[in-house]
A and B are shown apart, each in its own frame.
Chain A
Amino acid sequence: MERIPILKMGSLLLVTIQVDMHDRLAMTLQDDLTSRIVKDRAKGVLIDISALDLVDSFIGRMINNIAAMAKILDADTVLVGMQPAVAITLVELGLTLEGVKTALNVDRGMKMLGLGGLS
């Protein structure tokens, strides 16, 4: 079964979404990430969407859910690399991302999570 890989870097989980996800795959990611936060005792989740040219309400909801579940499990979520066209579309769509910080890139995202960058 196809899965989006989740990388563990210390107390951080990094997910880079590089495929056009269908709904089932998004649901699987949501479940996988939540399980991994518990299993790896993660303090932060970085979701890299710099390769996504589309974020619709389903993906938006997935992101909100991940952030909410992470919060309950005492972890913060940062969304990284949102493309400008996606940001503009999300506003017009009327979708608000809740409980999610945003950062321009992975390095800044990691600093935001207080986990230091690689530089």
Chain B
Amino acid sequence: MIGNDVDVRVLPLRADEDVVRMRQAVRECLVSVGFSLIDQTKMITAASELGRNTLRYGGGGEAHIQKVNDGSRRGVMLSFIDQGPGIADVELALTDGYTTGNGMGLGLSGARRLADEFELTTAPGAGTTVRIAKWKLF
């Protein structure tokens, strides 16, 4: 994923309240880049899903909020990082309705649909990083 390092805001995801704080921080960032309300809503919803996954399944971790710029577009990139058990079967995890908890199984697949770019890095015992990005044309 292309992105220059502009500034990165790092937020902990260790408790339910952290997820709320993260959503608000993501909102602020999206607003400052000038995203429409619909794009904001989609991205914050995706962030909420991924943040929850980090907390519930990843054993806690952190969120990185970054403004990005590839020369012709501005955007926001969000990373959700944990050092948890990792995802054993990515294909399965990305299937709508699949859950190892008692959720609706829409978090990962939903986030992928709601964002413009989606990248998942994981391995059993090696933690999980999910990155999503949304772009706005200048």
Contacts and interface: CB of A to CB of B under 8 A. Distances in A.
A binds B: yes
Interface of B: 16-17, 19-20, 23-24, 37-38, 40-42, 44-45, 48-49, 52, 96, 103-104, 106-107, 109-110, 113-114
A94 B113 contact: yes
Given A88-B41, A89-B41, A20 B23 contact: yes
28 contacts: A22-B17, A22-B19, A23-B19, A24-B16, A53-B44, A54-B45, A54-B48, A55-B45, A56-B45, A56-B52, A57-B49, A57-B103, A57-B104, A57-B106, A58-B52, A83-B41, A85-B37, A85-B38, A85-B41, A86-B41, A92-B42, A92-B110, A92-B113, A93-B45, A93-B114, A94-B96, A94-B109, A95-B106
Nearest to A58: B52
If over half of B's interface residues share one DSSP class (helix, strand or loop), that class is named, otherwise mixed; here it is helix
B106 A94 contact: yes
If over half of A's interface residues share one DSSP class (helix, strand or loop), that class is named, otherwise mixed; here it is helix
